[in-house]
Structure 1
């Protein structure tokens, strides 16, 4: 945080933040006493103090959201305040355990599996691989037997420990054993770690973050202290038989004792100095209780070497008391004989192989990533987990990446949008009523917030999404020197199909203006255009594609107005392209040219042929598409479909007869069919439908509604696609969206 450009937020549990204050200070102090004079410290005490205020303390089982990422801490059971983190990103749930323990010890809450949460990725430690720990009670009994054995022979017990975690557990074990065995109460127990002594205040403060055993002990001790009148010494961490040793200068090294000293790896510090002092005496013993890293003296001494290098003791002889790091050349030569006994009892706060496998199976994540372990142990655990896939229907993917190796794992997840606001008032169809032909289409604005999606109407954006909408109205003006409203309308119809006349300006006296030919301007005719400067042209508004307004003013100016968006902008560009060429294109010149100074019927169509295609013509073009796809297997259907029908066009005569088979049993079917055929002919439909036969499969297309019927779904779908494309092709842009009959 101090040496990088990191600007994010930092979260720690309350005990971890309190321990951090002392832990980093001790790390700075140890780093400054390093024997390497050329190695600069990674950080200073000033760096440490500057970062403390940036840390946010949080509690277990509380969820926090940072930039749409949700994190929830859970107890890890490694040390006081240790946490596993459940991280949720876009619906993907990742559980990162860090170091964790599932063992029920004397003071820590064991790691727990998040309840009711489906984990997608589990990132877990693999410290012990597949090795198994000795059961806790057996391990504690063996430890006390070893300690008392060393004391019985008059020796001293050295237990290298880390300042936090297992040291506190071992202190509870020793204090409890000494309380039950009075014969050892005269033997002193020390813990020589300034950091452990400082952090003991944190342990006394956060008793509530520990397990039921420590809480019970706290209540019992407090009751005893109240009876004795000394409430200040009633906590479970106020030991009766254990003393804190600030430094070795005050240590009277006479007789047997039990010494817990840090660091646990014996690389330097008090534990290394006492080892060099006590190693030559065969009565003494070293008990390793934690995890030892390869390359450290704690790992090497378990092989019981004949001698160990002296780096903390000056001078020669086993009893030398001068302390301090030895110079480099001398350190290579100075060796101390090792005659003390060495034993190992694993009290490391890490899960063993069996506990780790059980935890992984309980979480049941489809992807497991192994970290924090030596390569040999990690690969053995990976092989074991992969072997368990034999009996699984869904195989677990196991990864064991090296340091700094990047993993790319694809994940597929369903995205669900919640319908809110006005759209939610539409009742959803039941699962039984949804068919291939009966689906419900809902359109709206899809809003994503914190990886959660909501579908709502645009007018609900402010209420449900906290968003405001802005409409940009675009305007464009151009001038036409000769083209009149009829020519403009005719050209626009040729490009877009139907063009709606929205408004025409009236004379001040309420009478509609005419164009000099007697024609009423409210009904624009094709021969209305007159090229005469003295004739006023009315101001007319045309609506193109339902979104672009074209205002044609008296003086020849044309103004376009539309609501700005990607689709409307494209339509407006097309409208302007038509207007720019309306006075110069050959078809426009032919349309507006006249051999006479007066106006009469030129024989031209009053509407653009692109918008005045008859229904029969459109059906003929659709049938051309069907013939090109299915060849000569198309035959007309002579008899109409008798049943309830609702024509999609208002062009039907008022005397249309709605045929229904329920009008009476004695009604003549032939008469009904004749009436239905007559109605279809009035609409311009030549035959009721066509039949398409492909091999043994038949599809019927009813031309009025373009409905497709077939028991063979593949043929039915293919015919539908052909008809949809045909309608889009033969119909104008604007009316093509409404259907072949519109």
Structure 2
């Protein structure tokens, strides 16, 4: 929320706790709950962009009350404008609602006044001041039931300015009877920079909210009910409080007036007296005649139909969702907007409370090349490879070395190391490797004989009976390493057969074959148990067990995927041990 909203938020909620007449157990929240929410509030300036989990949002001036904001939410390029309560008309202290620079995909907009049209502001102000002046000039009293925030400050500015211009009225007192309004006035005096230019220029001379002709009234006991007076009191609906107390006292006198200055909710006493009934029921239950004059002069800072229609025509959203309105007014507004936008293929919805609205949008996913990949512009048909990095709903394509420059990520590598039994000579091993691979180099100045295959795989001869393979893991190097292991094992078995002559060659192979298979399966699957007596091998992968019958060449396993992997591995081992040219 905005800074001004946060300040007002605490005052409003704290006031509710103080005036609540329910038991502690029935209260929705207390001062401790308010303090905890204050800690969680993050404030935002107008036009400041914030991002949460990849969702970007920023806000515009709404013109409803001090600090009111319309929010634009951007989710993967799909934009939604939520107006909340807004007004496109600049008044004495607030700016008008801003118009975003681009059209959103969805506009969720209030429909409080439906198709109603407000009187021009100048005419409303004249009616208001004329009504007040005429009533007090005839010795009557004026009651203005208003909410503590928003329109109260606007009306007080109008009254103070009018009294300043009419010295003949300055002996008649004006009161605003709302402790909350008095507290909110301090917020208004603090956030002058959030108001319009008129107020800001006036503030350079004097504080416009330091009223000359208006004074606060704490309670009815402090009020001297003698002679004409103007009292602005809360609540605006006349349900209870000081506004209702004064109404009950003044409603039978025809010299008095009640000015309803804005929108009132159905079912409230303020809404009922707008129809000017002959009688009203007091809080005491007594039914009395309603003789005071009732005037409805709307200063409500909600958009009327003219403002709503103009706002949507300039904004041009393809989808409009109407909220915050009485069902009948909302229905009439939907019908009229549907007629106006008939040729523009605009979808207009007016969902009921708690009704879900689903909309589907197809957006293009665009990856932006950055860093080294962006140094040379790619031409059509070029193949560009790199790391595709997603942050929120944006994509970037970059070289692995640029990862730390454009993200908070860093590259890593896996170094593989494997020991393979080999009793042959290193010269023979080098000769066979050079026959199979193009890039085989001997590393000079090494303590032990070392060969490098394809620049990544190093083979070190350690001791008389083993070689060590070491490489940085990647798909190609892993394949090379697998083939080298198979070749070394084949060379090792041939060297063992040569020791016993031609007769022992086949018997040694048969005798050692299961051990060789066991060794290779261990390198591939990890947990492999050899039972030489039963001539079986048991493979355990994450609790899934497979049994290999070495004699019958059968595999028993409930997991078909693991069974297929073992079958492929055994086929490759068999090919390495018994090549076609062997």
TM-score normalised by structure 1 residue count: 0.60
Name the counterpart of 2:195: 210
Distance 1:170 1:504, change over 3 A: closer
Report the CA distance between 1:498 and its aligned residue.
Answer: 6.3
Deviation at 1:426, TM superposition (A): 1.6
Structure 1 residue 335 displacement after superposition: 3.8
Unaligned regions of 5+ residues in structure 2, if any? 494-499, 506-582
Q: Note if contact 1:160-1:263 (Cα within 8 Å) is conserved in structure 2.
A: yes
| Matching residue of 2:570 | none
Instruction: Tell me which moved more, 259-268 or 143-152.
Output: 143-152
Q: Residues of 2 paired with 1:466 and 1:304: CA distance?
A: 68
Q: Which residue of 1 aligns with 2:178?
A: 193
User: Residues 449-493 of structure 1: CA distance to partner in whole angstroms, max 9, x if unpaired?
Assistant: 354433221122223334321211122334368999999999x99
The residue number in structure 2 matching 1:22 is 11
Q: Deviations for 1:590-619, whole angstroms, at most 9, x for unmatched residues? A: xxx997999xxxxxxxxxxxxxxxxxxxxx
The question of 1:364 aligning with 2:316 is answered yes
Q: Closer, same or farther in 2 for the Cα pair 1:485/1:403, shift >3 Å?
A: farther
CA shift in 2, pair 1:390/1:239, >3 Å = same
Distance (whole Å) between structure 2 residues aligned to residue 570 and residue 49 of structure 1: 59
Question: Distance between the aligned counterparts of 1:307 and 1:573, measured in 2?
Answer: 99
CA distance in 1, matches of 2:458, 2:377: 36
Query: Which structure: larger Rg?
Result: 1
CA distance in 2, matches of 1:552, 1:380: 89
Does the CA contact (< 8 Å) of 1:123 and 1:370 recur in 2? yes
Q: Distance in 1 between matches of 2:43 and 2:442?
A: 71
User: Offset at 1:108?
Assistant: 0.6
1:428 aligns with 2:378: yes
**Alpha-carbon offset, residue 580 of structure 1:** 11
What is the Cα deviation at residue 37 of structure 1? 5.1
**Correspondence for 1:341:** 293
Q: CA 1:307/1:578 → structure 2, altered by over 3 Å: closer, same or farther?
A: farther
Q: 2:421–2:489: 8 Å Cα contact kept in structure 1?
A: no
Q: Do 2:421 and 2:492's aligned partners in 1 also have CA atoms closer than 8 Å?
A: no
Q: Is the 8 A contact 1:541 1:549 kept in 2?
A: yes
Greater displacement, 171-180 / 264-273? 171-180
Name the counterpart of 2:539.
Answer: none
Mapping of 1:106-505 within 5 angstroms?
106-115=92-101, 117-219=102-204, 222=205, 234-311=206-283, 313=284, 334-392=286-344, 395-429=345-379, 434=380, 439-479=381-421, 499-500=437-438, 502-503=440-441
Displacement, 1:388?
3.1
> What is residue 2 of structure 2 aligned with on the other side?
12
Count of matched residue positions in the alignment of Structure 1 and Structure 2: 504
Q: Is the 8 A contact 1:548 1:571 kept in 2?
A: no
Which residue of the partner structure matches residue 77 of structure 1?
Answer: 63
SS in 2 for 1:348: coil
Conservation of the 8 A alpha-carbon contact between 1:499 and 1:542 = no
Contact 1:278 1:284 survives alignment (8 Å): yes
**Are 1:52 and 2:41 matched, yes or no?**
no
How far does the alpha carbon of each residue in 1:357-376 deviate from its partner, in whole angstroms, 9 at most, with x for none?
21122222233332222222
| Equivalence for 2:47 | 61
Q: CA RMSD in A?
A: 4.0
Find the aligned partners of 1:365 and 1:194 in 2 and give their Cα distance. 42
Q: Compared with structure 1, are the counterparts of its residues 498 and 204 closer, same or farther at alpha carbon in structure 2 (3 Å cutoff)? A: same
Q: For the residues of structure 2 that align with 1:265 and 1:576, how far apart are their CA atoms? A: 88
Please state whether the residue corresponding to 1:73 is helix, strand or coil: strand
Q: 1:354-409 CA distances to partner (integer Å, 9 max, x unpaired)?
A: 201211222222333322222222233233333333222xx333333333333332
2:422–2:492 contact (8 Å) kept in structure 1: no
Are the structure 2 counterparts of residues 553 and 54 from structure 1 closer, same or farther at C-alpha, using a change threshold of 3 Å? closer
Shift of 1:251: 0.6
Superposed structure 1 runs of 4+ greater than 6 Å apart:
480-490, 546-554, 593-598
State the shift of 1:41 in Å.
Answer: 1.4
- Which protein has the bigger helix share? 2
State the Cα distance separating 1:106 from its structure 2 match. 0.8
- Taking CA–CA contacts closer than 8 Å with sequence separation of 6 or more, which of the two structures ends up with the larger relative contact order? 2
